[in-house]
């Protein structure tokens, strides 16, 4: 099974559809299987006190201005839906509240996503699981008990899912990756496990692929120096292309795990063992 590669655009579009389309183009041309966004009803996710607090941004002087500036509306997502269809790439989004999940249902995306922050929200888990779409469940900031409760909900609703090993720091330090947890989660919950990475390089993601993940998600950006909290933990276009190419090579290199003499080795064996008496079976 090929690793499902998701380019997380998230909020790195900075509320600009042109930037968004550029990022979709990059994801598609790099060979990604899907792009992913985030959706929030800011009045549900944040307190009014927080939204009224000061924050300088390209959209104004309050947190409300900044948060509102990063949110796409219905017409924006209709354009995204149409554009992704024209490019032949899937898109989906993680909802950070129930209103946003209801909002996303109108687009009938093939997949759902539970963000690490929302894995402890029972109401959202039940709503997403009831939609019966294959769901990627990120496990950052979570305990085994948190994950168990989420898994039980999806199993009870007979909804296809996979966990995604995640460390919720931005950017993540390589030494915090704890990639051995991928195998632990597989064994503990008897399901496929992907990896959602927030590191700055490629090595950790390559290692995760070699450990048998089912999916890989990385944030992407046009330029890591752009405005935004997720930009520094994102891959620029050249890095994304390198990552996808490397993953596909790793998949080819993994093989089937069965020891055999391959055809290309036979003439080498005959040459290097010419002074010995030995038998070799040619396939």
Nearest to 27 by CA among 11, 2, 4, 7: 7
Read off the DSSP letter of residue 253: H
Phi, psi dihedral angles at 255 (to 5 degrees): 65, -160
Nearest to 44 by CA among 105, 81, 98, 86: 98
Q: Give the residue-averaged pLDDT of 164-177.
A: 97
What is the C-alpha R_g of the chain?
22
Cβ proximity of 132 and 157 under 8 Å: yes
Dist. CA 37–CA 95, nearest whole Å = 9
Q: Name the average pLDDT for the chain.
A: 96
Percent of the chain as helix, strand, coil, to the nearest 5 = 45, 20, 35
Which band of pLDDT confidence, cut at 50, 70 and 90, is reported for residue 277?
Answer: confident
Which band of pLDDT confidence, cut at 50, 70 and 90, is reported for residue 281?
Answer: low
Which band of pLDDT confidence, cut at 50, 70 and 90, is reported for residue 43?
Answer: very high
What would the pLDDT profile of 92-121 be if each residue is shown by its tens digit?
Answer: 999 999 999 999 999 999 999 999 999 999
- Given this model, what pLDDT does residue 193 score? 98
Q: Is 247 exposed, middle or buried (0-12, 13-18, 19+ CB in 10 A)?
A: buried
Cβ proximity of 195 and 205 under 8 Å: yes
Q: Would you kindly state where each structural domain of the chain is located, as residue ranges?
A: 4-256
What residues does 164 pair with on adjacent strands?
A: 138, 194
Nearest to 32 by CA among 110, 84, 96: 84
Q: What's this model's pTM, rounded to 2 decimal places?
A: 0.95
Does residue 17 have a pLDDT over 90?
A: yes
Better pLDDT: 236 or 279: 236
- Given this model, what pLDDT does residue 255 score? 94
- The CATH superfamily of 4-256 is Aldolase class I (3.20.20.70)
- Given this model, what pLDDT does residue 81 score? 98
- Tally of residues, the chain: 283
What would the pLDDT profile of 80-96 be if each residue is shown by its tens digit?
Answer: 999 999 999 999 999 99
Nearest to 129 by CA among 143, 113, 145, 116: 113
* Helix/strand/coil for 234: coil
Q: Give the residue-averaged pLDDT of 53-68.
A: 97
- Given this model, what pLDDT does residue 283 score? 52
Read off the DSSP letter of residue 172: P
Dist. CA 219–CA 72, nearest whole Å = 18
- Given this model, what pLDDT does residue 278 score? 76
Does residue 282 have a pLDDT over 60?
A: no
């Amino acid at each position: 099974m090929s690793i499902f590669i998701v380019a997380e655009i998230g909020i790195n579009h900075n509320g600009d559809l042109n930037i968004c389309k550029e990022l979709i183009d990059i994801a598609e041309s790099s060979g990604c299987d899907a792009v992913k966004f985030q959706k929030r009803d800011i009045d549900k996710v944040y307190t009014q006190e927080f939204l009224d607090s000061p924050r300088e941004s390209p959209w104004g002087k309050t947190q409300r201005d900044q948060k509102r500036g990063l949110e796409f509306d219905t017409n924006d997502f209709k354009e995204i839906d149409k554009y992704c269809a024209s490019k032949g790439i899937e898109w989906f989004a993680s909802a950070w509240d129930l209103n946003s999940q209801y909002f996303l249902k109108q687009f009938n995306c093939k997949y759902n996503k539970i963000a690490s922050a929302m894995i402890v929200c029972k109401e959202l888990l039940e709503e997403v699981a009831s939609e019966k779409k294959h769901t990627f469940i990120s496990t950052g900031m979570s305990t085994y008990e948190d994950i168990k409760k989420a898994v039980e909900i999806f199993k009870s609703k007979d909804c296809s899912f996979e966990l995604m090993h995640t460390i919720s720091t931005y950017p993540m330090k390589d030494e915090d990756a704890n990639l051995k947890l991928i195998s632990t989660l597989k064994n503990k919950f008897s399901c496929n496990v992907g990896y959602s990475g927030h590191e700055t390089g490629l090595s950790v993601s390559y290692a995760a692929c070699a450990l048998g993940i089912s999916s890989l998600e990385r944030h992407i950006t046009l330029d890591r120096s752009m405005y935004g909290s997720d930009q520094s933990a994102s891959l620029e276009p050249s890095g994304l292309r390198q990552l996808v190419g490397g993953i596909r090579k790793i998949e080819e290199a993994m093989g089937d795990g069965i020891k055999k003499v391959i055809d290309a080795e036979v003439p080498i064996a005959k040459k290097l063992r010419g002074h010995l008496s030995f038998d070799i079976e040619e396939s």
